[in-house]
Amino acid sequence: MTSTFPIARKEPHAIPIHGHTLQDDYAWLREKESPETIAYLEAENAYTHSVMEPAQPLIDTLYTEMLGHILQTDVSVPYRDGRFEYYSRTQEGQQYAIYCRVPVQPGLTPRPLPPVTGFADEEILLDANKLAEGEAFMSIGMTAVTDDGNWLAYSTDNTGFRQYTLHIKNLLTGETMQRLAERVGSIVWATDNRTLFYSVEDEETKRPYQIHRRSLDASHLTLSPDEVAWEEPDERFNVGVGRTRDGKFLIAEAASHTTSEQWFLAANDPSGSFQCIEPRRDNIEYYADHREGKFFLRINDTGRNFRLVTAPVALRGSEHWQEILPHREDVMLEDIDLFRDFYVACERFQGLPRLRIFDLAGQEKSSAREISFPEPTYTAAPGINREFDTATYRYGYHSLVTPSSVFQYELTTGKSTLLKQVEVPGGFDRALYASERIFATASDGVQVPVSIVYRKDAFERGKNPLYLYAYGSYGYSLPIGFNSNRLSLLDRGVVLAYAHIRGGGEMGKPWHDAGRMMQKLNTFTDFIAVAEHLVANSYSAKDRVAIEGGSAGGLLMGAVANMRPDLFRVVLSHVPFVDVINTMLDASLPLTVPEYEEWGNPNEQAAFEYMLAYSPYDNLAAKDYPAMLVKTSLNDSQVMYWEPAKYVAKLRTLKTDNNLLLLHTNMQAGHGGASGRYDYLKEIAFDYAFLLWQLGVEKI
């Protein structure tokens, strides 16, 4: 048993920049292959497991509870794509999903929901459990089936580094061509059923920068040599490739955080050259789909929140554009789902998602039918809709108290039918829980939305422990949905709150703009304001606030723990981006150069000084901090393991309290943690045990 925490050695490392000299005594932890680095991480793991050993009965109890709320053998709702209907299923005791299909039956489309064991005539495309045999980690990246249904291209990652390998399976014979290409991203087939396009990452920075084209020789089970069909030289831009929903065009895209450009190629002319739809302009994004000789462009040229225009394929210049949905200051046009006779505008209004259907049968400009949702806070999003010529639309809905549900909207009647709602075993009663949506006033007067859920009979104003979660970066709107794991917190009286802070996308692009670059501090002060508001309004006892965030949300955790450590009792920080300056000064790392548009470039003095003011690693100080559990993974490709490792090592030498500080490194995973569903559940049980223990909900 390890009773004392490890002390990492200091090795002075000076970084002179802009008149400052930064000291990084733990830079040596970047040496991943060093035995000393691995020994330190393993020593931290041993200490963490020693400290948590008395909590093992609670961890086991939580795991059993959470497992009891999951239907371990289950099946998804099938969706049609060409001649087949596709679905996935899970089996009790198996870590991963099984991906299947069945032929479309005339007169029976869609088929009824399959039994949990699958249809009798099902064909298994991929069994991820078999792919995972002998592997500590397994993730399926992209999949693409040829139009004739005979060939499946797919990619896998067996390390967690999000470096995917391409494979092709003959669905007629079951034969598989393995490891055809490395560092593969998006995948798409042309209509000839033999030409494959896929994006490839740069070996140094993991930036997707090329679109490759290869032809399949079906008779010899071989692919032609790699041919670069399209390349993006600008390091700010990532590339991808896909197909319009009507199947007529391949679309290659280059996108940075603020600018995008798309190129097209007829899907029946795979040997041709890509042509630009609209030349890129700085700070202008657009995204295209196609219908009846026109591109439909969602573009933010006249306002940050996007509008919708059509552009003839043959006459693509902006002088030929026709606006069919204008820009609105109070509505974010997040996406467009385009079909033969209608399109769906996926919007966000007053911070909440909405789906509006527009008829295209007679004219492109038409009035909308809106799908209504009954709860104060929720997530509603497009489902899987592969068919272009359809009179139905699939969408998903869930909330903090309503399990994940799949609906089908009928265009002819305007009615939605529930196809499936995830079953929650173990006695879940929706009526026991309440959800609310409130607003907290930020330091500059801005109203910040907050979503809240609690168990009614366990809620006592001013006495409950609080769990507060947020992200607040990249314009990402925090989804508010159901998660049965959270019942283990709610049933113990923990109030759960989710802060929709600036830097996210809940209020459109301006909400993102107000929390990035030289406005990033708003993200942190918004979060603090939300925590203060929840305590002041008796959603929590003032000394029982736990907070959690991951990745860029881990940056949030580090920043607010430095700014207001007195406000929080417990911090759960997952793969946290805490070493902002050192990471953003290293252009060789994945993500750094493209993310100058999110955080700023510290090689510029003004940006450096602003980032230095909040960088968690650089602002650690000799004072009391909350109890912390910091988690990372050795193979993380997005936030390198050494950021949280250095952060904990430095904090250990500075903190003046006796609160727990634990670091745990998953030595066989990446950014998302364990890949198997049971392994991942054990990680959640571990986190919740730490949280409940430190909040005083459970005694250890």
Catalytic position from the list 636, 664, 675, 687 = 636
CA distance 435 to 451: 7
Specify the amino acid at residue 560.
V
Parallel, antiparallel, or unpaired for β 331-338 and 342-349?
antiparallel
Beta-strand (E) ranges in 6-133? 14-17, 20-23, 74-75, 79-81, 84-90, 98-103, 123-127
User: Which tokens go with 74?
Assistant: 């289950």
* Whether 311 contacts 297, CB under 8 Å: yes
Residues contacting residue 528 through CB under 8 Å, at least 6 positions apart: 560, 563, 564, 567
671 is catalytic: yes
543 is catalytic: no
Residues 149, 150, 152: CA angle, nearest 5 degrees? 90
636 is catalytic: yes
* Whether 681 contacts 66, CB under 8 Å: yes
DSSP-derived 3-state class of residue 100: strand
Residues 311, 289, 169: CA angle, nearest 5 degrees? 150
- Whole-number Cα distances in Å, 57 to 60, 61, 117, 685, 699: 5, 6, 33, 11, 11
CA distance 15 to 360: 60
User: Which tokens go with 553?
Assistant: 């949300």
* Whether 346 contacts 336, CB under 8 Å: yes
DSSP-derived 3-state class of residue 123: strand
CA distance 649 to 620: 11
CA distance 77 to 75: 7
CA distance 529 to 440: 7
What does DSSP assign to residue 8? P
* Whether 542 contacts 515, CB under 8 Å: no
User: Which tokens go with 186?
Assistant: 């998006």
DSSP-derived 3-state class of residue 643: helix
Choose among 456, 451, 465, 452: nearest CA to 433.
456
Catalytic position from the list 76, 551, 633, 675 = 551
Parallel, antiparallel, or unpaired for β 405-410 and 139-145?
unpaired
Catalytic position from the list 477, 633, 671, 675 = 671
Residue 188: CB atoms within 10 A of its CB come to: 21
Catalytically active residues, by annotation: 551, 636, 671
